[in-house]
Structure 1
Amino acid sequence: MNKHGIISLGEVIVDLIATDLSNTTFQRLLGGATVNVAVGVSRHGIPSYYLCKLGSDESSEFVKGQLTKEKVDLSFCSYDFNKEICSVYIHLNELGERYFHSYVNETPDEWITAEELDLEPFQKSKLFYFGSGTLFHPIARKTTEQAIHYAREENLKIAFDTNIRLKRWESENQCRETILSFVQKADIVKMTEDELLFLTETDTIETGLEHMAKLEIPYLFVTRGKDGAYAIHKNKIEHVPGIPVNAIDTTGAGDAFMAALLSRFHDNGVPNNEAELTEYTEFANKAGALSATKLGAL
């Protein structure tokens, strides 16, 4: 069977961005790191499957419409009448700068469950991708473990973006320990420089990479914004410079990086040498840089 496609597992978030300084009217946009990657994968021309729980409220209909328009396959999502989509309110201050105002989740325990996961997309696809944004919740954590089990059974490459949001965790230790346990289940891992230092409890990137090397991650990518990224394979470290751009909004740049990187792994397989690994990282750097030249995570 010819396999094509990338599965993304996560949670959809609707960003409500204030349109003026009164902070009373809002523009509604799709949000969430795994959504950004699923859409990015689709825009690279790769079959993109998104796994989450959706409801029947207006926000769920908005999400379904937007993702369908982006050719993201929602056939294997689960549905529950009670589920309400999470919202993040972004307000404007007196200078017109955006800032996080509030996070609203009326159904915090409604997640796609391990029992609701369908094996079919894993039989069709080449890669499975997930982030840490839902791992704080035991139901979502169990679902992720089941998805990893299916991915291993079906010989998919497993990709993980640490993408840490500390406000969602009970403690720094719980966050660190959980994420490190999942890092060791993945073939491809992406993290920012700050996340590397947090996870390894170090204060320099060199020391952080030394600590992370002990986990023997097959392919590790550490992003540094405008300064490019490190690609690490078999303890060989390649620094790939960033692409200079006039950055307007860096939200979602890391997700654009990840989607581009996964598209290379999907289309070309694992890199066979340092030159190919560098080319994959250059391609991802370009995607991340270009995404920063326009407003919005997508």
Structure 2
Amino acid sequence: MLEEGLLADTNDAAKRSLYDITTFGEILIDFTWQGVNEDGQTLFAQNPGGAPANVAVAVAKLGGHTAFIGKAGKDMHGEFLKSVLEKENVETEGMLLDEKYFTTLAFVNIDENGERTFSFARKPGADTRMEKEEIDVDILDKTHIFHVGSLSLTEQPARDTTHYAIRRAKEKGSIISYDPNYRASLWKDEETAKKQMRSLVPYVDIMKISDEETKLLTDKESPEEATEILFRKGVKIIAVTLGSDGAYLYCKEGGVHIPGFVSKAVDTNGAGDSFWGGFLYCISKAGKRPEAFTMDELKEYVRFGNAVASLCVERKSAIPAMPELAQVEERMGR
């Protein structure tokens, strides 16, 4: 149940919002494989990462007003991450640096096709230690769209904090956005992942999943079947990302496939986050309730997101590769 109080109309919420989009969850370091040196030693580059942080930056680069809520360690990595968000004009008042825990690290290997495999140092990572009392409600209560992932559900207390934040944001009239972003190695087992990832669906208005996550969320592999199930559960807009093939969109008018843009992938890290950042940017600027959008409007927003992602994968890393609005419009031929 939602906390007591009136559920504000989303249009009214948009008018009073200070932030177009606020994201909550993990922020971490991606140590990305860079090859070997002359002595045969493996080289890794320090890159800012974490899906919610990536989304916040993607929207900010396009011109949106964004905020990030979460926790990193008060260490060299946490200080670096906070400075990156500030440089990208993301509000960081809600980002805490905790002396008791270390910033989560992810070691990322990229194959010749740009695809990734992950190894995490998170035992525990600072991002999992966020308490609900530490949430900056001055930010949370004034955001048009509130976006979360599922990695904050892997451990306590971040799991309860995630549910608290979503309930509160929904009560205040925010549109709730969700990207499960499954990472198998961070869960006890697949059944636990399914249970926790599905626990947020009843609160969600708009949702992005990858074609690899459809079965985890719905027990159905095909995007067509999976999106219908999620829609019946109350999600009003669902996008399934299909890599270079674009995305499958489902809303009240049914489903449709929107092709992607041709690009030469160098690094797919952040591709889904950049796509969703582009889509959320369009939703935020429209200022409408999720159920009010037409298929034609949403198709154009997905096409915009596809363009953002196609530009992102042409450069290395995630946050440094996020494009600006002029670049996206050029890619779209505007």
Cα deviation for residue 210 of structure 1 reads 3.9
Query: How much does 1:198 deviate?
Result: 2.9
1:90: how far off? 3.5
Given that residues 82 and 107 in structure 1 are in contact (C-alpha distance below 8 angstroms), is that contact kept between their aligned partners in structure 2? no
Say which is worse superposed, 183-192 or 84-93, in terms of deviation: 84-93
1:130-161 deviation per Cα after TM superposition (whole angstroms, max 9, x unaligned)? 00122111211111111112212221101000
What is the number of residues matched between the two proteins?
297
Q: Which residue of 1 aligns with 2:16?
A: 2
Structure 2 match to 1:14: 29
State which of 185, 192, 196 in structure 1 corresponds to 2:210: 192
Q: 1:296 aligns with which of 317, 320, 328?
A: 317
Residue in structure 1 matching 2:245, options 227, 230, 241: 227
Tell me how far 1:204 sits from its aligned partner.
Answer: 3.1
Residue 31 of structure 1 is aligned with which of 34, 49, 63?
49
Q: Which residue number in structure 1 is paired with residue 259 of structure 2?
A: 241
Alpha-carbon offset, residue 257 of structure 1: 0.6
Secondary structure, aligned partner of 2:78: helix
Letter in 1 for 2:79: E
The residue correspondences of 1:153-164 to structure 2 (distance < 5 A) are: 153-164=171-182
Tell me how far apart the structure 1 counterparts of residues 257 and 95 of structure 2 sit (CA, whole Å): 38
RMSD: 2.3
Q: Which has the higher contact order (CA 8 A, sep 6+)?
A: 2
- The 1:8–1:219 alpha-carbon spacing in structure 2 relative to 1, beyond 3 Å, is same
Note the residue ranges of structure 1 that are not aligned, 5 or more in a row.
none
Structure 1 pair 265–91 and aligned structure 2 pair: CA distance change class (3 A): closer
* Alpha-carbon shift at residue 67 of structure 1 (Å): 1.5
Q: Which residue pairs with 2:293 in the alignment?
A: 272
Distance 2:256 2:224 in 1: 12
Q: Secondary structure at the match of 1:284?
A: helix
Q: Does the C-alpha gap of structure 1 residues 140 and 69 become closer, same or farther in structure 2, counting only changes over 3 Å?
A: same
Structure 1 residues 100 and 236, CA, compared in 2 at 3 Å: closer, same or farther?
closer
1:211 aligns with 2:229: yes
1:104 maps to which residue? Answer: 121
Q: Tell me, in whole angstroms, the C-alpha distance in 2 between the residues paired with 1:235 and 1:92.
A: 38
1:269 to partner: Cα distance: 2.5
The amino acid of 2:307's aligned partner reads: K
Taking a change above 3 Å as real, the CA distance of residues 92 and 248 of structure 1, as seen in their structure-2 partners, is closer
Tell me, in whole angstroms, the C-alpha distance in 2 between the residues paired with 1:197 and 1:228. 19
Q: In 1, are the aligned partners of 2:72 and 2:98 still within 8 Å (CA)?
A: yes
Give the equivalent residue in structure 2 for 1:47. 65
Scaled by the length of structure 2, the TM-score of the pair is 0.82
Matches within 5 A, 1:124-143: 124-143=142-161
1:221 counterpart SS class:
strand
Deviation at 1:78, TM superposition (A): 2.8
Q: Which residue of 2 aligns with 1:152?
A: 170
Aligned pairs for 1:170-185 (under 5 A) are: 170-185=188-203
Contact 1:54 1:80 (8 Å CA) reproduced: yes
**Aligned equivalents of 1:253 and 1:233: distance in 2?**
22
Amino acid at match of 1:258: W
Gaps of 5+ in 2: 1-14, 320-334
- Distance change >3 Å, CA 101–CA 224, structure 1 → 2: closer
TM-score (norm. length: structure 1): 0.91
Q: Which amino acid aligns with 1:245?
A: S
**Partner secondary structure for residue 299 of structure 2:** helix
How big is the shift at 1:74?
1.0
> C-alpha distance in 2, partners of 1:292/1:97?
8
Q: Secondary structure at the match of 2:147?
A: strand
Instruction: In structure 2, give the amino acid aligned to 1:27.
Output: A
